[in-house]
Amino acid sequence: MSRRDVVVNTLIGFFLLAIAFLVLLAYVAALWITIWTIKVLAKRFFPGVIVPFPVAMFIVLGITSLAAGVGHLRSRRWRNAFVSLALIPVGTSIWFADPRSPYGPDGFAYLWLTLLALFPVEKFLLPRSEFFLSASILMIVMAVNSGILGFGAFTHYLSVCTVLTAVVFFVIKARRRQAAVDHDTSPMPA
């Protein structure tokens, strides 16, 4: 490779990184504008009510989940609709959770990570194994938040294992989505 090729490849790499950063910045800006709009509407229609950032994030998640659930229902993807619509009460259970709960008000990051990993945005039906895994994780989060399992070491281990399972589930979904994209864009054999 000549020096010119190395320079051109480096500049192309920087250009692609800059584009990826701008796309990420656009997503963050859209999220910030949505949260700001929620706060302004809350101040306008409910004077004296202060909407903290986590509440606004869960409002955004709830609205998005409701819209996705209705879309899945209209397309008759019942498993996806169940997971999408079940995320709404699971997300709101954080505010009714006991303060000792691992997913309670102090464990906001755990619950947020778990819920985002479970969000079914695919346009195809969830396989049964992924549906049962999603339903199990949602059930565990609700059981931990409601205090049914107590607040001992078992509950903390279970909540950490649930988060790790959700992360692995997210990686599996991302790999499956990438494989589907690679399969769709592969050249046809001659």
Residue holding tokens 């001659």? 190
pLDDT at 134: 82
pLDDT at 121: 61
> b/e per residue, 119-147, with b = 16+ CB within 10 A?
bbeeeebbeeebbebbeebbebbbebbee
Number of structural domains in the chain: 2
Same-domain check for residues 43 and 58: no
Same-domain check for residues 34 and 69: no
Considering the domain boundaries, does residue 90 fall inside one?
Answer: yes
Contact call for residues 49 and 43 (beta carbons, < 8 A): yes
Same-domain check for residues 39 and 98: no
Same-domain check for residues 37 and 106: no
pLDDT at 15: 92
Same-domain check for residues 168 and 103: yes
Does the model's pTM come out above 0.85? no
Considering the domain boundaries, does residue 186 fall inside one?
Answer: no
Same-domain check for residues 13 and 71: no
Same-domain check for residues 17 and 75: no
Considering the domain boundaries, does residue 87 fall inside one?
Answer: yes
Same-domain check for residues 30 and 106: no
Alpha carbon distance 69, 84 (integer Å): 5
Same-domain check for residues 39 and 60: no
pLDDT at 176: 75
- All residue ranges of the chain with pLDDT < 50 are 190
- 180: its two tokens: 């589907």
Residue in 62, 54, 52 with CA at minimum distance from that of residue 119 = 62
Name the residue range of residue 20's domain.
1-48
CA angle 172, 118, 28 (to 5 degrees): 100
Same-domain check for residues 4 and 70: no
Considering the domain boundaries, does residue 187 fall inside one?
Answer: no
Cβ-Cβ contacts under 8 Å for 59 (sequence gap 6 or more): 38, 51
Considering the domain boundaries, does residue 140 fall inside one?
Answer: yes
pLDDT at 118: 62
- Alpha helices, DSSP H only, in the chain? 3-45, 53-74, 78-92, 108-118, 128-146, 153-185
Same-domain check for residues 21 and 58: no
- 124: its two tokens: 């195809």
Same-domain check for residues 165 and 75: yes
- 135: its two tokens: 């339903």
pLDDT at 80: 86
